[in-house]
């Protein structure tokens, strides 16, 4: 479903930052892959490369068989198939929850108003806040905003969902409600790539865990492998700090 091959990405600011160094990984259909790693290790960068919000310098990235780094690829078509959920929610501030869910359905998927609204309401019910349909993002709690953001991505009927630390900006008491939505999705067979520090979530639903450090993939394995006997010293060190 998702395949990255030898991906490199370097940022040039005041100095050179090698954010991704020869990263290769694969996510199969229906799989839930959790990416962990210390701050600045390139987790967000690889995720953003997958939908070309960041353009990889070299390597290949295939989404459902389509090479997204090929200039001939219509990236907007690919992105419509990839739902993305951000750490800072990024809900459209001038639209209600319902408006956030219907806009791209109208503009990108060209659905009729009725169809889009029906779909939107069904998804708001699914994430547990149908009563907030007419609220603006500013009037929602963080947990509610993130659930609307997940619903917004789902409204496009994506084949893969990408999550970049979806609970990191939330107050502790709201983390559960967002994770519950994500767990439901995972159980329904959604293909998911999740960057998170929530080890409980990883243990419970991940099929595969990827540990990154300094732009490289250090270790890949099942959750059991990671929590019982990780191979690399860096992994052990990281896990000992976080658990």
Partner 1 sequence: MSNFSITDYLRTRGWRHISIILFFVMVGAVVGGIYVATQRVEYVWRWYRVPQYFYYKDTIETRAEIEGEVASLVAKGDQVEVTVRGDGEEEVYLVPADSLRVDEGDFIYPGDVLGSYQKWKVGILIQGLWLTMAVSVIGVLLGIVIGLFTGLARISSNPALRWSAITYIELIRGSPLLVQIFIWYFVLGTMINAMLAQKGFSQLPPLWFGVTALAVFAGAYVAEIVRAGIQSIHRGQMEAARSLGMTYPRAMRHIILPQAFRRILPPLAGQFISLIKDSSLLGIIAIRELTKATREVVTTSLQPFELWFVCALLYLVLTFSLSMFVQYLERRTAIGG
Ligand X SMILES: Nc1ncnc2c1ncn2[C@@H]1O[C@H](COP(=O)(O)OP(=O)(O)OP(=O)(O)O)[C@@H](O)[C@H]1O
Nearest distance from C-beta of residue 84 to partner 1, angstroms: 4
88 lines the binding site for partner 1 (CB under 8 A): yes
163 lines the binding site for partner 1 (CB under 8 A): no
90 lines the binding site for partner 1 (CB under 8 A): yes
Beta strands (DSSP E) in the chain are 2-12, 16-27, 32-36, 58-63, 66-67, 82-85, 160-164, 191-195, 208-213, 216-221
44 lines the binding site for ligand X (CB under 6 A): yes
39 lines the binding site for ligand X (CB under 6 A): yes
Asked if residue 50 lies in contact with residue 4, where contact means CB atoms within 8 angstroms, the answer is yes
Asked if residue 52 lies in contact with residue 79, where contact means CB atoms within 8 angstroms, the answer is yes
Residue 142: both structure tokens together: 């963080």
Interface pick for partner 1 out of 153, 161, 186, 193 (rule CB under 8 A): 153
189: left (phi over 0), alpha (psi -120 to 50) or beta: left
36 lines the binding site for ligand X (CB under 6 A): no
| Backbone CA torsion sign across 64, 69, 74, 75 | positive
User: Using CB under 8 A, which of the segments 118-126, 134-142, 185-193, 202-210 binds partner 1?
Assistant: 134-142
Phi then psi dihedrals of residue 212, to 5 deg: -115, 150
- Region 163-182 residues binding ligand X, contact defined as CB under 6 A: none
Contacts to Mg ion by CB under 5 A: 44
66 lines the binding site for partner 1 (CB under 8 A): no
Asked if residue 216 lies in contact with residue 21, where contact means CB atoms within 8 angstroms, the answer is yes
Q: Smaller CB distance to Mg ion: residue 75 or 169?
A: 169
- What would the x/- binding string for ligand X be over residues 87 to 106, using CB under 6 A? --------------------
Nearest distance from C-beta of residue 237 to partner 1, angstroms: 32
Q: Smaller CB distance to partner 1: residue 10 or 135?
A: 135
Asked if residue 198 lies in contact with residue 146, where contact means CB atoms within 8 angstroms, the answer is no
196 lines the binding site for ligand X (CB under 6 A): no
Of 83, 5, 47, 54, the residue nearest 195 (C-alpha) = 47
Asked if residue 129 lies in contact with residue 97, where contact means CB atoms within 8 angstroms, the answer is yes
Residues making contact with ligand X (CB under 6 A): 11, 13, 17, 19, 37, 39-45
Residues making contact with partner 1 (CB under 8 A): 51, 53, 76-84, 86, 88, 90-94, 103-104, 107-108, 136, 138-139, 149, 152-153, 156
């Amino acid at each position: 479903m998702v395949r990255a091959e030898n991906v490199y990405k370097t940022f040039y600011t005041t100095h050179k930052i090698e954010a991704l160094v020869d990263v290769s990984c694969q996510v199969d259909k229906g799989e839930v892959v959790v990416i962990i790693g210390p701050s600045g290790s390139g987790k967000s960068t690889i995720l953003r490369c997958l939908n070309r919000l960041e353009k990889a310098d070299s390597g290949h990235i295939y989404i459902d068989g389509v090479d997204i780094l090929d200039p001939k690829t219509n990236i907007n078509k690919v992105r419509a198939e990839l739902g993305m959920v951000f750490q800072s929610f990024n809900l459209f501030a001038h639209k209600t929850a319902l408006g956030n869910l219907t806009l791209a359905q109208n503009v990108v998927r060209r659905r009729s108003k009725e169809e889009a609204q029906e779909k939107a309401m069904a998804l708001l019910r699914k994430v547990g806040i149908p009563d907030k349909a007419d609220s603006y993002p500013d009037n929602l709690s963080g947990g509610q905003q993130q659930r609307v953001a997940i619903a917004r991505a789902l409204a496009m009927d994506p084949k893969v969902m990408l999550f970049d630390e979806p609970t990191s900006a939330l107050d502790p008491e709201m983390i559960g409600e967002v994770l519950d939505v994500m767990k439901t999705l995972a159980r329904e067979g959604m293909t998911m790539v999740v960057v998170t520090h929530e080890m409980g979530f990883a243990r419970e639903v991940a099929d595969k865990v990827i540990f990154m450090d300094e732009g490289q993939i250090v270790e890949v394995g099942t959750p059991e492998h990671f929590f019982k006997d990780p191979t690399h010293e860096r992994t052990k060190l990281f896990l000992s700090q976080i658990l």
